[in-house]
Amino acid sequence: MTVSTPDANGNSRDDYVRIFDTTLRDGEQSPGATMNVEEKVTIARQLELLNVDVIEAGFAISSEGDFEGVRRVAQAVTKPVVLSLARTNQPDIERALAAVEKAVRPGIHIFIATSDIHLKYKLQMNREEVLAAVTRAVSFAKRHLDHIEFSCEDASRSDWAYLAAVCEEAIRSGASVVNIPDTTGHAVPEEYGRLYAYLRERVANADKVIWSAHCHNDLGLAVANSLAAIRNGVRQVECTVNGIGERAGNTSMEEVVMALKTRKDLFGVDSQVNTRQIYPASRLLSQIIGQAVPPNKPIVGDNAFAHEAGIHQDGVLKHKLTYEIMKPEDIGIPSNKLVLGKHSGRHAFVERLKELGVDPAYLDLNSVFAEFKALCDKKKVVYDDDILALVTEDARHAGEYYALTSLEVGSSSKSTPSATVTLKVGEQEQTASAIGDGMVDACYKAICKAATADVTLNRYSVKSITRGTDALGEVNCLVAKDGMTVAGQGAHSDIVMASALAFVNALNRLQLRRHACGQRPAGGP
């Protein structure tokens, strides 16, 4: 990544804001957002369609699953840089390098904390030791790769002069991107912007690197802080689809991208994101992790373009610009959501897939089309969300430990609801029966017995994805064990079946998460 010389107006062809997407790393660390390798590859392909510049695919040393996720993403995409996170020690860096080895554009992201609080309590290192670690790590990585990003964790709470010394050392050792994270979401826009102005003024060779912003949303300021950073020379923003991430989340990709596009008059720079892929990306992620987008979420929420007030409706009908600052079609929101049904042919189906941001080349089209036709036989109208549910289903079940083989439930006004479940548990089949307060309760108890799983169901919700009594029902649940919470999701035209699928999906995620966390190293982000 190079910085080009600006023209007379201060603009250059390379003067744009790089989008560094960390949905698969920082985003995946958020409660309930665990993804398996196939799901990560599906998201990565969508990120490539979005035309993001960098994909942070994981933290390779943290688990076998993370390593495999980075390795597979590195091979699945060709345009974006694919990188892995690493601490400053050599085993971390070597593992990250191995994971991105096959990428067309490989990179590595090395970080160490720089705030006194982190040095004293977490790292138990002094400032000189941290500086030496930066030199060692960055120069070692530079011998293998060109694209080296260096991050000062908890930068916004670090001593500014020391931060400048660390950045200078990282650049001298070979970093091409320098990131100043607001790890705890503590900064406010004016202050965060000023920090970049200070560093770009103070650090030797500051103009030879790309400065990057990485914000968390604890005070709801992640997007505002990222935009303030851009106003102060930052040309890379680290963000996630739907703003998912640790605690209150990371900078939301769609918000920052659309703010730049909508207010180019003010910022003078834009990103290179294909904004028409924003809505498909948002829906795809939401389907995969089983977390609904809040209706009032800017850009991608269901209400983002809904005008309720009479005066607003009147204005929009007369001229959209009266109350709309963006066009829904620029975000890829389909104008007509209900068209497909049993008479739709393969061509129409493939076109709709493309509109939804799904590349048919990565699907077993014959089988997905057959499933679509089967669904059409059950339902009069198949909606976009039905289709997305169909195409994410395969990735969801890839490599899973538990699988639902059969389910029988019984209930009447005179008997206690009961369920018998057969579950594939690893290589074996287990059958168990239970009674419960309702059919779903009986079914969950039977699944727990068959899986010998002792978990707590913290949340359970059913929604009809579409309209009508034949609609696909979507069940979302939150399941916890030993302080770890995961989300599960299932879709089926039978609600009890959707509930069972969601619960089994959650058990699989729990298994994946427990495996990953068992190996997650200390001192991670």
The least distance separating ligand KIV from the CB of residue 299, rounded to whole angstroms, comes to 23
> Applying CB under 6 A, which of residues 183, 277, 286, 499 lies at the interface with ligand KIV?
183
Q: Cα separation of 282 and 273, whole Å? A: 14
101 close to 79: Cβ distance less than 8 angstroms: no
Report the DSSP beta bridge partners of residue 21: 55, 239
Q: Does 111 bind ligand KIV (CB under 6 A)?
A: yes
Q: Please choose which of Zn ion, ligand KIV, none residue 63 contacts, taking the beta carbon within 5 to 8 angstroms, the exact cut-off set by kind.
A: none
SS (H, E, C) 345-399: CHHHHHHHHHHCCCCHHHCCHHHHHHHHHHHHHHCCEECHHHHHHHHHHHHHHCC
Q: Which residues bind Zn ion (CB under 5 A)?
A: 26
Smallest separation, CB 436 to ligand KIV (Å):
42
Beta bridge partner(s), residue 473: 464, 492
Of positions 107, 181, 280, 488, contacts ligand KIV by CB under 6 A? 181
Residue with Cβ nearer ligand KIV (417 or 525): 525
Q: b/e per residue, 120-140, with b = 16+ CB within 10 A?
A: eeebebeeeebbebbbebbbb
Complex with ligand KIV: residue 115 or 505, whichever CB lies closer:
115
Residue 336 buriedness (CB in 10 A; 0-12 / 13-18 / 19+):
exposed
Binding mask 16-45 for ligand KIV (x = CB under 6 A): ----------x-------------------
CB under 6 A: which stretch of 164-172, 176-184, 190-198, 343-351 binds ligand KIV? 176-184
Pick between residue 112 and residue 497 the one whose CB is nearest to Zn ion: 112
Identify the sign of the CA torsion 360, 489, 478, 279: positive
* 58 lies in the binding site for ligand KIV (CB under 6 A): no
Between CA 319 and CA 163 the distance in angstroms is: 50
To the nearest whole angstrom, how small is the minimum distance from the Cβ of residue 179 to ligand KIV? 6
Q: Give the Cβ contact number of residue 364 at 10 Å.
A: 11
Structure tokens at 43: 């998201």
Query: Looking at beta carbons only, is 189 or 268 nearer to Zn ion?
Result: 189
Element (H, E) at 19: strand 18-21
Length of the chain, in residues: 525
Q: Which is nearer to ligand KIV, 92 or 153 (CB)?
A: 153
Cα 185 to Cα 73: distance, rounded to the nearest angstrom: 29
Residue nearest to Zn ion (CB): 26
Q: Which residues is 147 bridged to in the sheet?
A: 107
Q: Residues binding ligand KIV: what is the number (CB under 6 A)?
A: 11
Regarding 118 and contact with ligand KIV (CB under 6 A), the answer is no
What is the nearest approach in angstroms of Zn ion to the Cβ of residue 234?
Answer: 16
Cβ of residue 206: shortest distance to ligand KIV, in angstroms?
A: 19
Nearest approach, Cβ of residue 156 and Zn ion (Å)? 11
**Is residue 214 part of the contact set for ligand KIV (CB under 6 A)?**
yes
**Cβ at position 6, least distance to ligand KIV in Å:** 28
Q: Which is nearer to ligand KIV, 213 or 293 (CB)?
A: 213
Beta-strand pair 340-341/381-382: antiparallel
> Quick check: 525 binds ligand KIV (CB under 6 A)?
yes
Identify any residues that bridge with 424 across adjacent strands, giving them in sequence order.
403, 429
Residue ranges in 335-354 that form contacts with ligand KIV under rule CB under 6 A: none
Query: How far, in Å, CA of 143 to CA of 343, rounded?
Result: 59
Taking CB under 6 A as the rule, which mask of x and - marks residues 216-235 in contact with ligand KIV? Answer: x-------------------
Residue 34 binds which one of ligand KIV, Zn ion, none, with CB within 5 to 8 A depending on kind? none
Give the H/E segment covering residue 459: strand 456-464
Which one, 95 or 214, has the nearer CB to ligand KIV? 214
Binding ligand KIV (rule: CB under 6 A), the pick from 28, 92, 153, 169 is 153
Of 100-108, 178-186, 198-206, 251-259, the segment contacting ligand KIV by CB under 6 A is: 178-186
Between 63 and 418, CB nearer to ligand KIV:
63
Q: Which of Zn ion, ligand KIV, none does residue 107 bind (CB under 5 to 8 Å by kind)?
A: none
Cα radius of gyration (the chain): 24
Query: What's the CA gap between 381 and 65, in Å, rounded?
Result: 38
Which of the ranges 98-106, 175-183, 254-262, 355-363 carries the binding residues for ligand KIV, by CB under 6 A?
175-183
SS3 494: coil
Q: Considering CB distances under 5 to 8 angstroms, the limit depending on partner class, which of Zn ion, ligand KIV, none binds residue 151?
A: ligand KIV
| DSSP secondary structure, 81-113, as one string | EEEEEE-SSHHHHHHHHHHHTT-SSEEEEEEEE
Residues 6+ apart with CB under 8 A from 508: 36, 400, 401, 402, 488
Is 111 or 402 the residue whose CB approaches Zn ion more closely? 111
- Where along the sequence are the contacts to ligand KIV (CB under 6 A)? 26, 85, 111, 151, 153, 179, 181, 183, 214, 216, 525
